[in-house]
A and B are shown apart, each in its own frame.
Chain A
Amino acid sequence: MPIVKPENMNFSDKNLIMIVSGLPGTGKTTLALSAPGVLLIDTDEGLARVNPAHRKDASVCKTYEEILADIKAAEGQYQTIVIDTCGALIEYMKDWAMRTDPKASKNNGGFSLQGYGVIKQEFLRLSAELRKKFNVIFLFHENMTKNGDEGTFYELVVEGSTRTLVYQPADLAAHLFIMNGKRYLGFTPTEQYSAKSAYGIKGLMEVPELKDGEPNEFLTKLFAKVRENLAAESKSLAPQKELYNIALLEAKRICNEVNGPEDVEEAAKAIKAMTHALTSEKESMAMLKARVSELGICWDKAKKAYVYKE
């Protein structure tokens, strides 16, 4: 594999995984269809509620195996897979696990605890596999629950123990809601909803209302912005990373030359005098501290000097 320098890294083909969650009727499916080159996996009959002008290709399946087959067939033809909804996908996975893995069923026919382990693993596998070929948008319905004294909490509609896991592969997660007649995506987690901010995408973002004849491209633009931010971040970090690597190598050398209490202060001075970047100074001092401790050296307050521990 060729080694790529940060300044030459290209994120234009980086695939993203995003979660969009919201109450029914907030426009999740229409928003998801604004991503580039969409194939909608319609497990929830969401497409029927979309304005025909904005509809895209869709796959309507009856089993998890059919979904996998349609995704396989979509390779090279589509850029984004939208799972509408992911809560329903998990239900398909449960059915699949019960049919294919004996661990997933209880004797009384119910779904077993080990079965949840099976679908969690499968969800992670599927996410990783999808990301190799597509952007992925997981849509979730939400319902409102009471959150102690803090009021309402918008919770994903998905089987309880998988709720936490589904966020893990996602780069971004946003809560879609309507306030004063306007639609917003919230990317920063709050007391009211879960979310995931990254690549400079944070806080609230207004989703403009689609007027007749207007192209539906909100997420296409957002994904382009993410890639732009990634490239800019990588470019600005590149010189710092280079200095950081040099500083750590130098600190390692200095620490290795500490062989007794008499060397410690000089080493600390040398580390402080180095050119530092990112967290190299704090890491170098921690490295020195570890070396000092390894040699059985400590600071003697009375003597105001480093000495061997007695």
Chain B
Amino acid sequence: MYTKSKVRITQSLLSAWEYSFKTDEGYDDFIRALNREKKQPTKQMLDGIRFENCLNGVLKGEEIPKNHEWYPVITEMAKELWGAQQQVTLFSECEVDGQVFLLHGVLDYLKAGRIWDCKFSSRYHLNKYLNSDQHPMYLRLVPEARDFTYIISDGKFVYRERYPREIVPPIETNIKYFAQYLHQHGLWKTYCEKWSVNNG
């Protein structure tokens, strides 16, 4: 039923799968993600990249002009994230129902046992990331971390969603359902072809 070789899995693939149940276009987006097709960045994504670049620049010592539209929020976030390692790439194996998965993630910020992920969201609402796979996945990648915080800005205010390890469910449960879904819908073979560890 399963493949002997390891298959890579990321939180964005799991998120794309979960999103496929929520919207009409979600399924097509998931199939594109499963096939590892590059997605055209939306304006929202480009804004997020611009915001993150601005924050990372400040964390590397660049100055942000006081009249910059994001000056108050960037300085507030930079104060908290100062000294953190940025873009930490991690891999870790996990076995679910006899199949070995290679978890792969890139942490935005890691410092002293804590993980942060920066989000730019013009329409943030409370507990937006409650069901995200990102915090269970990243806490699995860093077993020594004690919490995961989404640090979010809409450009005017800074919001935080903090998930202490003790309230986060294990990522293995979702990986199990994901694998079952792929088998039931004839997508397992595609997944193995595209996401095999030997396939980049």
Is the pairing of A and B real?
yes
Interface string of A108-125 (1 = CB under 8 A from B): 000000000100100010
Interface string of A262-294 (1 = CB under 8 A from B): 000000000000000011001100110110000
Residues of chain A within 8 A (CB-CB) of B113 are 237, 240, 244, 278-279
CB within 8 Å of B: which A10-38 residues: none
Given contacts A241-B112, A279-B110, A279-B145, contact A164 B125 (CB under 8 A): yes
Q: How far is the CA of A282 from the CA of B138 in the complex (A)?
A: 13
Known contacts A198-B162, A282-B90, then 5 further A-B pairs from the complex at CB < 8 Å, ordered by chain A residue: A168-B159, A190-B130, A202-B167, A283-B110, A286-B89
| A189-B142 in contact (CB<8A) | no
| A202-B126 in contact (CB<8A) | no
A223 within 8 A of B: no
Q: How far is the CA of A183 from the CA of B72 in the complex (A)?
A: 41
Q: Interface size on A (CB < 8 Å)?
A: 31
CB within 8 Å of B: which A122-164 residues: 124, 163-164
A167 within 8 A of B: yes
Contacting residue for A194 out of B89, B126, B142, B162, CB 8 A: B126
Interface string of B136-179 (1 = CB under 8 A from A): 00000010110000000000111110101011000000000000
| A163-B110 in contact (CB<8A) | no
A197 within 8 A of B: yes
Measuring CB to CB, which residues of chain A are less than 8 angstroms from any residue of chain B?
Answer: 117, 120, 124, 163-165, 167-168, 188-191, 194, 196-198, 200, 202-203, 237, 240-241, 244, 278-279, 282-283, 286-287, 289-290
Q: How far is the CA of A164 from the CA of B157 in the complex (A)?
A: 10
| A120-B126 in contact (CB<8A) | no
Q: Interface size on B (CB < 8 Å)?
A: 29
State how many angstroms separate the Cβ of A298 from the closest Cβ of chain B: 14
- Closest-by-CB residue of A relative to B125 is A164
Given contacts A198-B164, A241-B112, A279-B111, contact A287 B159 (CB under 8 A): no
Given contacts A189-B130, A197-B164, A279-B145, contact A244 B156 (CB under 8 A): no
State how many angstroms separate the Cβ of B161 from the closest Cβ of chain A: 9
B124 within 8 A of A: yes
CB within 8 Å of A: which B95-118 residues: 110-114
Residues of chain B within 8 A (CB-CB) of A168 are 157-160
Q: How far is the CA of A287 from the CA of B111 in the complex (A)?
A: 12
